[in-house]
Amino acid sequence: KIIYMEEQQYINMIKNILDNGFWEEGRNGRTKTLFGDMMRFSLKDNKIPILTTKKTAWKTCLKELLWFISGKTDNKLLKDQGVHIWDANSTREFLDSRGLTHYAVDELGPIYGYQWRHFNKPYNSDGKGIDQLQEIIDILRDPEKRTSRRIIMTAWNPCQLEQMALPPCHVLCQFNVHNDNKLSCALY
């Protein structure tokens, strides 16, 4: 039996980064990093692994997640709810720095939710894309298909990365059903 000690995993990871990580200069300035570490969380009994060692704006995260699920890409919809996660990435200056001079302020391009709900649909078109999220829901409801190892949803679309205000950080999740009704998700 795996014991999930969410808080301790986080503390151990931070210690590992401090002890064994290396310094990098990147988009977020100078950061200490370590590639490939991971944590495991159980959501059993309706537990949500929110850490107490740092401030977590869970309502803001929930609103952003629901916005992703909707497939929308207009930051104004988040701003109207008091969510400002994407503000810095939707300014005229930032969009222009990414070569997205034709986007209006607050337009983010085919980011996360767009890829989840309209994968590879030409951005701002009447074309057709793949609704990955609905496909996953349908597969999970199908007793014949739900044990597949190929229940995957990706936000990483090389064909549209240059159209995104910000390429995705959480790029892929894979689902797995075991023991007939236990759902696992690996998020990369």
Residue bearing the bigger pLDDT, 35 or 46: 35
- The sign of the dihedral angle between the CA atoms of 49, 51, 57, 59 is positive
Task: Tell me the pTM.
Answer: 0.85
Is residue 169 annotated as a catalytic residue, yes or no? Answer: yes
Both tokens of 183, joined, read 């759902």
- In the prediction, which pLDDT does 2 show? 57
Task: Using alpha carbons, select from 132, 117, 121 the residue that is nearest to residue 160.
Answer: 121
What is residue 104's DSSP assignment?
P
Q: Which of 61, 169, 173, 185 is catalytic?
A: 169
Q: Tell me how crowded residue 185 is: count the other CB atoms within 10 A of its CB.
A: 13
Q: Is it the case that residue 3 has pLDDT exceeding 70? A: no
Residue 4 in this model has a pLDDT that exceeds 80: no
Q: Give the mean pLDDT of the chain.
A: 91
Comparing 4-8, 27-31, 124-128, 152-156, the range with the smallest average pLDDT is 4-8
* Exposed/middle/buried for residue 110 (C-beta within 10 Å: 0-12, 13-18, 19+): buried
Mean pLDDT of 159-181: 94
Q: Please determine, for residue 26, whether its predicted confidence score (pLDDT) is greater than 80.
A: yes
Quote the percentage of the chain above a pLDDT of 90. Answer: 71
